[in-house]
Amino acid sequence: MFCDWLNELQRFLHWGPVIVFSLMTCVTWTTVHVNAMWWPPAESFNAAINFVLIVFFNLITLYHFSMSILVGPGLLPKHWRPENPEDEQFLQFCKVCDGYKAPRAHHCRRCKRCVLRMDHHCPWINNCIGWANQANFFYFLFFFMLGSIQSALIIGFSCYEGIYRRALLKQGDTDGIRVVLTLRSAMACMYSLGIVVGVLLATLKLMQLQIKAIIWNLSEIEGWIVKKAEYRRYASSSIGIAIPTFDYPYDMGVWRNILETFTPSNDGINWPVRPGCDQYTMTREQLAQKVQKRARTRTYRCIASATGYWLPILSQGLMVTICMPCADDPRIVVHKGDLVQVTRVQEYWLYGERVLSKREQKLQKKHQLKGHIRGWFPRCCAVEQFDEDQSAGDTVDVTHNTDQKKTKTGSKIKKRKT
């Protein structure tokens, strides 16, 4: 138990939480400094309330930020299997965790575990957002937004009054001058104001995404699955193939969805579903999409090596670097002769999974294989490989048919001679 908490505390030692703490410290110090001149707490009751709100927003934001990290999203136990072995056919198997993925659970390559109702991996808390900590993450965003609005107003009005009062001071009007800014404090105010406005806009966007996820009880990953389900049925109907309709099973109504987020009534594995659906409605759709994905997979053979760098300007050139994918997926190292199962194709990049050798497969089972095997690599390093066995089989069939024709022709000639 102590080791688990120690591992969670280590999550604070990451660039995401460090940047958040640094920005909050900078903005809070500037806000308190100028507020002491612009609206001193001892001046009136309203001024005291304003100062109390500054402290409250900072403390409550730090609390929910820390809890989002420490509580975590909720992890599916390793080697997990459903109670009924017959249900395993409806679930995907995770090779890394050596167990089945529960409904709504997904594997996070950064956390290296299967996460319950995974929404996304957030670099700012260095953890996933999921079943257990989504409420804390929403509270963090909400109070962070309110604190940012208050700080922006205080710093903005203080900067305006400080600059305006300095002009009056030069004219000899010293009545009512409260905010006096030096060059250093003015620069700190402008810097903090720029930070708080930028962070506020980003927070509003994240709030929009989280509100949508909570109201519809639809995680970011599940949103992709639903879109692919709609497209799969549209594409099938266009060629005359009918597929049963897909109903998203976890939308229980706005109020019930909100309660399931802030006061969950489930264990993160077994979820309440809509009438006409069951626990495996979503997982069966995922398996069907995986089958289609494998059908679209193309095998590429590497004709050159790739370093796995994000900016391979020296090894692959300028255009490959400029046109890199706008995604945080990893880049993989490939060597000449490697085979890669490609599922996504761009003009200059390919996304796929490298085919492992027998030795690498043994290392993977022991969790000793280093580096990513699935990710992006430059397209110029590989060429598509067609099925040689099928081509060879076609050649054999043609030869066999030709031999049969020759045999039949020869027998006819012999009959004529006789």
Active site residues: 122
Backbone phi, then psi, for 135, in 5-degree steps? -65, -45
Task: Classify burial at 232, counting beta carbons within 10 Å of its beta carbon; exposed 0-12, middle 13-18, buried 19 or more.
Answer: middle
Backbone phi, then psi, for 73, in 5-degree steps? -80, -15
HEC per residue, the chain: CHHHHHHHHHHHCCHHHHHHHHHHHHHHHHHHHHHHHHCCCCCCHHHHHHHHHHHHHHHHHHHHHHHHHHHCCCECCCCCCCCCHHHHHHCCEECCCCEECCCCCEEECCCCEEECCCCEEECCCCEEECCCCHHHHHHHHHHHHHHHHHHHHHHHHHHHHHHHHHHHHHCCCCCCCCCCCCHHHHHHHHHHHHHHHHHHHHHHHHHHHHHHHHHHCCCHHHHHHHHHHHHHHHHHHHCCCCCCCCCCCCCCCHHHHHHHHHCCCCCCCCCCCCCCCCCCHHHHHHHHHHHHHHHHCEEEEECCCECCCCCCHHHHCHHHHHCCCCCCCCECCECCCCEEEEEEECCCEEEEEECCCHHHHHHHHCCCCCCCCEEEEEHHHEEECCCHHHHHHHHHHHHHHHHHHHHHHHHHHHHHHC
Helix axis angle for 134-170 and 45-71, nearest 10°, is 140
SS3 state at 318: helix
SS3 state at 194: helix
Given the structure tokens 């709609």, which residue do they identify? 230
Task: Classify burial at 157, counting beta carbons within 10 Å of its beta carbon; exposed 0-12, middle 13-18, buried 19 or more.
Answer: middle
d(CA 182, CA 264): 52
